[in-house]
């Protein structure tokens, strides 16, 4: 008899035992547990037909139709599962932990595998991860104006042993309107939350977790409310890098992109930048004066950042003046500052 495991019991096992998601390809593509492999018991059309049959003729008719679909595919399911299994162990889940995962688990066990099923299915997983972001954690936020190199500094700190929740890296978006340039396509918002939770669960919560100061929304990915609230309430180390150096960094990061793309991004902040500055930025872009473009756009982003930080508890904010754009040196200074505080 396949074992039933709670999400708390099953999730740590996914680091060493393969997890099979037996939901339809469409369900899996929308979002899934990170690392899970899709072996769908029904394809998208079959799932729809079984559902229609259930509503029209009841459970018995739906089961019979399902068997017609599944029968010819059973040996293939077993072969796929055996290729994935480690020491003949496999984990299985569906949407609610019902017939789909139960049937596939029975099949795999009959074929000689040691099978465990997620009780409550993917639905239980989603509830669990949302709850996890509400748990106590020692967050410290690294903030600073656009172009300060915060992400690079935090990556260096991570290489030095610090814990870093790279929200922008997971979202495939750098946060600003220029954020999607040069990035992979964004995950669905649901899968973004799953990916965040997968990193989150592996942290040592007795130690500090670093995050970058972010807006709630990064493109189409939104930071879950409990986590965003933690970010807004956590201590902030705000680095101040001279504007001229930030302009140079932005030109280095974005200057190689097509002018048409950059013009489209500028146009997206036209209402906030104002017509005159938008025209000046567009003309400078056409003339190849990229430092001027960076300077104009920073005039908007710096004001927006000041507005955001003004809502924070100023007693939890520490300003750190940096004379150079030196991520390695800055990382060392920030770690040393935190140790002293």
**Domain edge (last residue) among 129, 161, 179:** 129
- Predicted confidence at residue 69, as pLDDT, reads 81
Instruction: Decide if pLDDT at 88 tops 80.
Output: yes
Instruction: Decide if pLDDT at 154 tops 90.
Output: yes
Please give the Cα distance from 28 to 94 (Å, whole number): 10
Same domain, 296 and 147: yes
CATH of the domain at 242: 3.40.50
pTM: 0.92
Catalytic residue among 70, 81, 94, 197: 94
Same domain, 123 and 272: no
- Predicted confidence at residue 297, as pLDDT, reads 94
* Phi, psi (deg, nearest 5) at residue 52: -65, -40
Same domain, 87 and 164: no
Q: How many domains does the chain have?
A: 2
Over residues 273-316, the pLDDT tens digits come to 899 999 999 999 999 999 999 999 998 899 988 888 888 888 89
Mean pLDDT is lowest, of 113-127, 219-233, 309-323, for 309-323
Half-sphere exposure in the Cβ direction for 60 (13 Å, CA): 0
Same domain, 119 and 142: no
**Domain edge (last residue) among 100, 129, 158:** 129
Same domain, 147 and 103: no
Over residues 184-216, the pLDDT tens digits come to 999 999 999 999 999 999 999 999 999 999 999
Please give the Cα distance from 107 to 337 (Å, whole number): 58
Same domain, 125 and 143: no
From residue 274, alpha-carbon distances to 87, 257, 280, 297 in Å are: 63, 23, 10, 11
Same domain, 294 and 335: yes
Same domain, 87 and 156: no
Same domain, 83 and 211: no
CATH of the domain at 41: 3.40.250.10
For tokens 């495991």, name the residue. 5
94 is catalytic: yes
Domain interval for residue 220: 135-340
**Domain edge (last residue) among 107, 129, 151:** 129
Same domain, 47 and 191: no
């Amino acid at each position: 008899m396949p074992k039933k495991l709670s999400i708390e019991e099953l999730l740590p096992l996914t680091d060493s035992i393969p997890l099979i998601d037996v939901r339809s390809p469409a369900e899996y593509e929308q979002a899934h547990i990170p690392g899970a492999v899709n072996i769908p018991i029904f394809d998208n059309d079959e799932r729809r037909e079984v559902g229609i049959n259930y509503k029209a003729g009841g459970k018995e008719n739906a089961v019979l139709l399902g068997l017609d679909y599944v029968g010819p595919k059973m040996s293939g399911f077993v072969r796929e599962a055996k290729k994935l299994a480690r020491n003949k162990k496999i984990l299985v889940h569906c949407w609610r932990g019902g017939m789909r995962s139960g049937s596939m688990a029975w099949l795999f066990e009959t074929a000689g595998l040691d099978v465990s099923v997620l009780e409550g299915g993917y639905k239980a997983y989603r509830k669990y991860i949302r709850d996890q972001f509400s748990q106590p954690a020692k967050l410290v936020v690294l903030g600073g104006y656009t172009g300060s190199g915060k992400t690079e500094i935090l990556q260096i700190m991570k290489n030095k042993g610090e814990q870093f929740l790279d929200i922008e890296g997971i979202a495939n978006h750098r946060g600003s309107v220029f954020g999607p340039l040069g990035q992979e396509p964004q995950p669905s918002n649901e899968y973004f939350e799953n990916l965040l939770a997968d990193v989150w669960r592996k942290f040592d919560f007795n130690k500090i977790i670093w995050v970058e100061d972010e807006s709630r929304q990064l493109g189409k990915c939104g930071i879950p409310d409990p986590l965003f609230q933690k970010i807004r309430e956590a201590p902030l180390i705000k680095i101040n890098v001279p504007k001229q150096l930030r302009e140079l960094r932005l030109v280095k990061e974005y200057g190689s992109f097509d002018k048409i793309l950059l013009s489209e991004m500028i146009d997206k902040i036209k209402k906030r930048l104002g017509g005159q500055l938008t025209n000046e930025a567009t003309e400078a872009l056409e003339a190849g004066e990229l430092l001027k473009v960076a300077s104009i756009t920073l005039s908007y982003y710096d004001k927006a950042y000041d507005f955001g930080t003004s809502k924070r508890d100023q007693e939890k904010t520490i300003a750190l003046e940096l004379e150079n754009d030196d991520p390695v040196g800055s990382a060392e200074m920030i770690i040393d500052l935190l140790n002293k505080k």
